[in-house]
Each structure stands twice: as structure tokens, then as C-alpha cells.
């Protein structure tokens, strides 16, 4: 087996794994959308993850779809020895790598801006949906219980909320599970907001997060190199 053939086979197998992984994530995301309650009941212990702060199902669907596209382009490009598909694969992975680097820079430099944007988007949702939407409420209850946090910033995120209007108290985690959770008690307990708590956990495990990020970046760079190698050597084959 020549070196070109070996690289081609490795490219096919690698992207086939990506394609299957993307299909799995897409399927799980659709399942979470259709039957979110059973999904959360099974994966509830993972609520300390930041994925529980956003809509898990749509996140999984988006990631799964992207992986499906990447896996298809890479696998078919190598199998059919198509320069067009290989260049499309190279372009998509390069765009994703640049976006990840840009996101990392923004996260490091503009953490305060990220908090402001999240507050602008999520705080109104908390006021409107917490206690009204069962799936949304369950996600936040799991998050606040497992992470030991309250709201996005603190208990004031629930001021003028549907929950406060209906029950006359704040959610139990805002008072360290002491009930009834009044505004006075919530102010005394001063439970940290979920954004700050999750950010603290990420910083605490910065080595693990950085290692995973570096590993993903290395795989992406390797994919770029291999796809460009195949692209450049197709004419010489």
C-alpha cells in the first residue's frame, strides 16, 4: 500500500467516524426536542455543564448537522478523489477553526461582554418562561441545584417574573433551599449567579478545558493538512 492510498483510507475512516458521530448527535438532539422530559431525566446529572444553561436539543442538532456535513465532504471527497469535495471540506473545517479561535479570543478578552449579552438574552426568558414552561423550568432547576447557583446573575433575575408573581417567593436554590425564599432571605444568602459559578468551574478546570480544546484544534489542523495533501497529489496520482 502506497503512502497516498494509506492517507486516503485514513481520511475515509476518520470522516466516516465523524459522519456517524454527527448522525448520533443529530438523532439525540431530535429526541431531546420531541421528548425533552425523558432526555433530561436520563442526563440530569450533567446539569453542571454549561450546556444546561442553553437549549440542549438545538445545540446538539446544530453540532450534529455540522459534523454530518464535514464527515460527508471528507469521506466522499477522499473516496471519489474529488478535488471539489476536498476543497469544500478544507474550506468548512478552516472556517470552523477560525471561528473557534475567534470565539476563544473573545471569551478571554471580552468575558464581561459575554456576560452582558447572555444577561440581555436569557434574563427576559427567565422572567417569562420559568415556572410556565416545564422543560425550561426543569433545566434551570437542575442547573441551580447541581451548580449551587441562582438565576444568571443572582436572585434579582426573578424580579417581576411569572414565578414570583404566581408563588410570591423566589426559587428555593436562591435561598440555599431554605423556604420560604423571600427577597430579604435571598439577599442575605447572596447565592452566586449561574454564569459566574460556571465560569469559575471552567477556570478551575482550565487545564482540562484547554487540553480538550487543543486536541480538537490539532485534529482539525491534521484534517486540513491531509485534505490538502490529497488535493495536491490527485493530479500526480
* pLDDT average, residue stretch 3-23: 83
Mean pLDDT of the chain: 79
Query: Smallest Cα–Cα separation from 18: which of 84, 93, 88?
Result: 93
Query: Smallest Cα–Cα separation from 216: which of 4, 67, 108?
Result: 67
Instruction: Write down the pLDDT at residue 103.
Output: 74
Instruction: Write down the pLDDT at residue 174.
Output: 92
CA distances from 56 to 51, 100, 110, 152 (A): 6, 19, 24, 17
Three-class secondary structure of residue 108 per DSSP? helix
Q: Cis (ω within 30 of 0) for the bond into 180?
A: yes
* pLDDT average, residue stretch 214-223: 83
* pLDDT average, residue stretch 142-155: 86
Q: Which is more confident, 73 or 118?
A: 73
CA distances from 230 to 13, 85, 179 (A): 15, 11, 65
Per-residue pLDDT band at 42 (split at 50, 70, 90): low
Examine the pLDDT at 4 and tell me if it is beyond 70: yes
Instruction: Write down the pLDDT at residue 171.
Output: 92
Each residue of 45-56: pLDDT tens digit? 444 344 444 456
Q: Hey, what domains does the chain have and what are their CATH numbers?
A: 3-109+206-233 (no CATH), 112-198 (1.10.1450)
Instruction: Write down the pLDDT at residue 170.
Output: 92
The CB density around residue 92, as the number of other CB atoms within 10 Å, is 15
What pTM did the predictor assign? 0.59
Amino acid at each position: 500500500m502506497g503512502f497516498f492510498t494509506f492517507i486516503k483510507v485514513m481520511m475515509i475512516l476518520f470522516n466516516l467516524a465523524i459522519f456517524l458521530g454527527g448522525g448520533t448527535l443529530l438523532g439525540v438532539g431530535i429526541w431531546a426536542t420531541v421528548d425533552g422530559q425523558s432526555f433530561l431525566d436520563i442526563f440530569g446529572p450533567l446539569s453542571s455543564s454549561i450546556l444546561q444553561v442553553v437549549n440542549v436539543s438545538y445545540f446538539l442538532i446544530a453540532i450534529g448537522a455540522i459534523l454530518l456535513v464535514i464527515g460527508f465532504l471528507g469521506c466522499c471527497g477522499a473516496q471519489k478523489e474529488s478535488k471539489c469535495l476536498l476543497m469544500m471540506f478544507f474550506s468548512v473545517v478552516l472556517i470552523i477553526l477560525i471561528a473557534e479561535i475567534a470565539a476563544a479570543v473573545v471569551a478571554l478578552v471580552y468575558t464581561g461582554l459575554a456576560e452582558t449579552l447572555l444577561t440581555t438574552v436569557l434574563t427576559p426568558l427567565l422572567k417569562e418562561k420559568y415556572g410556565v414552561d416545564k422543560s425550561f423550568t426543569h433545566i434551570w432547576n437542575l442547573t441551580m441545584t447541581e451548580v449551587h447557583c441562582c438565576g444568571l446573575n443572582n436572585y434579582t433575575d426573578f424580579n417581576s417574573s411569572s414565578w414570583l408573581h404566581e408563588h410570591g417567593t423566589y426559587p428555593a436554590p436562591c435561598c440555599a433551599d431554605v423556604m420560604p425564599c423571600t427577597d430579604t432571605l435571598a439577599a442575605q444568602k447572596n447565592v452566586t449567579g449561574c454564569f459566574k459559578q460556571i465560569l469559575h468551574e471552567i477556570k478551575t478546570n482550565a487545564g482540562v478545558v484547554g487540553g480538550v480544546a487543543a486536541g480538537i484544534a490539532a485534529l482539525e489542523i491534521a484534517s486540513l493538512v491531509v485534505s490538502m495533501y490529497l488535493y495536491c497529489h490527485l493530479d500526480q496520482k
